[in-house]
Amino acid sequence: MTSIQNPAGRTSLGLPDDFWLGAATAAYQIEGAATEDGRGASIWDTFSHTPGAVLGGDTGDVACDHYHRMPQDVALMKELGLDVYRFSVAWPRVQPTGSGAVEQRGLDFYSRLVDELLDAGITPWLTLYHWDLPQPLEDAGGWPERDTALRFADYARVVHDALGDRVRYWTTHNEPWVSAFLGYASGVHAPGRRDPGASLRAVRHLLVGHGLATTALREAGAESLGITVNLYAVSPASDDPADQDAARRMDGMSNRIFLEPLLLGRWPEDVLADLDAAGIGDDLRGPTPDEDVALASTPLDALGINYYSRHTVAAGGEPGAELAYPGSTDVRFVNPGYPVTDMDWPVDATGLSEVLEAVHAMSPSLPLYVTENGAAYPDDVVADGRVLDDDRTAYLDAHLRACAASIGRGVPLRGYFAWSLMDNFEWAFGYAKRFGLVHVDYDTLVRTPKRSAEWYAALTRRQ
Ligand code: FCB
């Protein structure tokens, strides 16, 4: 017995007929073939092979073996009726050392993927950077160094030269917040550094790299250019002014630290003031702030938003919690009663509307896409070889209805990508967390569409 009925197409959820429905993945999470065809090492290869860094000692060496099973995976996407597929290119497959020499076999893989998608009637949506920095660039200082931004723009040109004749939709970075703060401040992601100043320099250079790559691809004729940020609805735990200020700081360090430079061409003043008080404001500002925010605010054709959860925060530190939010020691996460996913993330679909409408208010004419949304659940309810993931199906249903509600209130939201097409390597959690519409058996690599996939296929169906 399932609690959610199959929808009769997207309009039955209130979505426009031309609304795009897709799914997303990322290279390191699914490809495997980590040393094949000349691929170089990325910071995630190094990190996942570092004892204690990833749960269970899991690595992306094999992952879903998508590198070898790509045609079969595209066939699955076709069965799901996807309009569009968001994937990322592994920089070290294309430039094994992060600069200079190009590995043609790496480019050929993505070229075959793009052709396979187009043959299946699925629009390819390419993300250039989903966290797999070539290790030699990290050895030279990584994102805290400005040179990495210049190398990123070169890499963007290389990928565009190979695929720009067929790929219309380009995203520079996926979730620069994660790259900067989990990579360089809390150290729970690659490269595992714990240096607040370095994480702020990384924020700046990720945005500079975005601007340089966007400018380069625009000159090369790319049609639609954007970036994807992970945004949170943020609320204070009470109307106590101290909790309200905690919410302001959390919104500042999670959302506005990227939205203001990207959309308004400035760093958020209150965030800079907090960082100055902690002695690290200049790490964000840098020596050429005007030039940098001008690059960061290079016009976009679309903004990608990844939404998973709401943060409810109160004043009062908890040991270690400040690590991912430099300068914000006095913040504590609370859950006022939302159900949680297997990641312990509170589920609140109204937060998605809130985020979409806040971004729309900042940049009224900018087309928006939800480039990731989804939920991890243990998926242990298997009957007759089926995975009856009603919890995930309900999550998707609620969040897509929130999209429809925001569109009804005038938000130019054009599409939605479920995270993820299939279960995969969930970073520091290894294979322990399952986000897929399609189940992956990690012993046999067999793919089994879950109940949520059936539901999604009914949603994508055009009458
Ligand atoms: C996002 C990432 C994606 C995946 C989901 C669960 O932060 O972009 O790769 O890990 O979370």
Residue at 5 is within a domain: no
Rounded distance between C-alpha atoms, residue 222 and residue 227, angstroms: 14
Given its phi and psi angles, is residue 450 left (phi above 0), alpha (psi -120 to 50 degrees) or beta? beta
Q: How buried is 164 (Cβ within 10 angstroms: 0-12 exposed, 13-18 middle, 19+ buried)?
A: middle
Strand partners, 440: 447
pTM tops 0.95, yes or no: yes
Amino acid (one-letter) located at 382? V
> CB under 8 Å to 344, separation ≥6 — which residues?
none
Q: What average pLDDT score do residues 293-316 get?
A: 97
How far apart are the CA of 49 and the centre of ligand 1, in A?
20
> CB under 8 Å to 174, separation ≥6 — which residues?
26, 88, 127, 129, 130, 131, 228, 306, 371
How far apart are the CA of 219 and the centre of ligand 1, in A?
30
Three-point CA angle 410, 414, 420, nearest 5°: 130
Q: What average pLDDT score do residues 8-19 get?
A: 97
Residue at 451 is within a domain: yes
Q: What pLDDT score was predicted for residue 1? A: 44
Q: What pLDDT score was predicted for residue 328? A: 80
Give the pocket of ligand 1 (CB within 6 Å). Answer: 26, 29, 174-175, 178, 230, 306, 372, 419, 426-427, 435
Rounded distance between C-alpha atoms, residue 15 and residue 309, angstroms: 21
Q: What average pLDDT score do residues 58-79 get?
A: 98
Instruction: Using the predicted structure, report yes or no on whether residue 252 has a pLDDT greater than 90.
Output: yes
Domain count, the chain: 1
Tell me the best of 30, 31, 372 to mutate to test the pocket of ligand 1, counting ligand atoms within 8 Å of each CB and taking the most: 372
Rounded distance between C-alpha atoms, residue 30 and residue 364, angstroms: 36
- C-alpha to C-alpha distances, 248 to 241, 274, 298, 314, 315, nearest whole angstrom: 10, 11, 26, 11, 11
Residue at 187 is within a domain: yes
Over residues 136-164, the pLDDT tens digits come to 999 999 999 999 999 999 999 999 999 99
Q: What average pLDDT score do residues 54-81 get?
A: 98
Residue in the structure block whose two tokens are 């990384």: 202
- For residues 134 and 103, the answer to whether their CB atoms sit within 8 Å is no
First to last CA, the chain: 26
Over residues 55-64, the pLDDT tens digits come to 999 999 999 9
Which DSSP string corresponds to 9-27? SGGGGT--TT-EEEEE--H
Residue at 54 is within a domain: yes
Q: What pLDDT score was predicted for residue 323? A: 77
And the tokens for 99? 């600069």
Q: What is the band of 319 on the pLDDT scale with cuts at 50, 70, 90?
A: low
Secondary structure of 112-155 in HEC code, one letter for each residue: HHHHHHHHCCCEEEEEEECCCCEHHHHHCCCCCCHHHHHHHHHH
Closest CA to 288 of 213, 173, 204: 204
How far apart are the CA of 130 and the centre of ligand 1, in A?
9
Residue at 86 is within a domain: yes
Q: Annotated catalytic residue: which of 31, 116, 138, 175? A: 175
Instruction: Using the predicted structure, report yes or no on whether residue 182 has a pLDDT greater than 70.
Output: yes
- For residues 160 and 222, the answer to whether their CB atoms sit within 8 Å is yes
Residue at 66 is within a domain: yes
Residue at 2 is within a domain: no
Instruction: Using the predicted structure, report yes or no on whether residue 419 has a pLDDT greater than 60.
Output: yes
Q: What is the band of 322 on the pLDDT scale with cuts at 50, 70, 90?
A: low
Q: What average pLDDT score do residues 62-70 get?
A: 98
Which DSSP string corresponds to 363-388? STT--EEEEE---------EETTEE-
Tell me the best of 25, 130, 426, 437 to mutate to test the pocket of ligand 1, counting ligand atoms within 8 Å of each CB and taking the most: 426
- For residues 352 and 402, the answer to whether their CB atoms sit within 8 Å is yes
Rounded distance between C-alpha atoms, residue 354 and residue 357, angstroms: 5
What is the domain extent for residue 406?
10-459
Q: Whose CA is nearest to atom 4 of ligand 1?
A: 426
Residue at 322 is within a domain: yes
Q: What is the band of 329 on the pLDDT scale with cuts at 50, 70, 90?
A: confident
Strand partners, 372: 306
Q: What is the band of 364 on the pLDDT scale with cuts at 50, 70, 90?
A: very high
Helix (H, G, I), strand (E, B) or coil at 338: coil
Q: What pLDDT score was predicted for residue 317? A: 77
Over residues 184-204, the pLDDT tens digits come to 999 999 999 999 999 999 999
Closest CA to 157 of 112, 230, 213, 224: 213
Neighbouring C-alpha atoms within 13 Å toward the C-beta of 245: 10
Q: What is the band of 380 on the pLDDT scale with cuts at 50, 70, 90?
A: low
Whichever domain contains 111, its CATH number is 3.20.20.80
Helix (H, G, I), strand (E, B) or coil at 64: coil
- Please state, rounded to an integer, the average pLDDT across all residues of the chain: 96
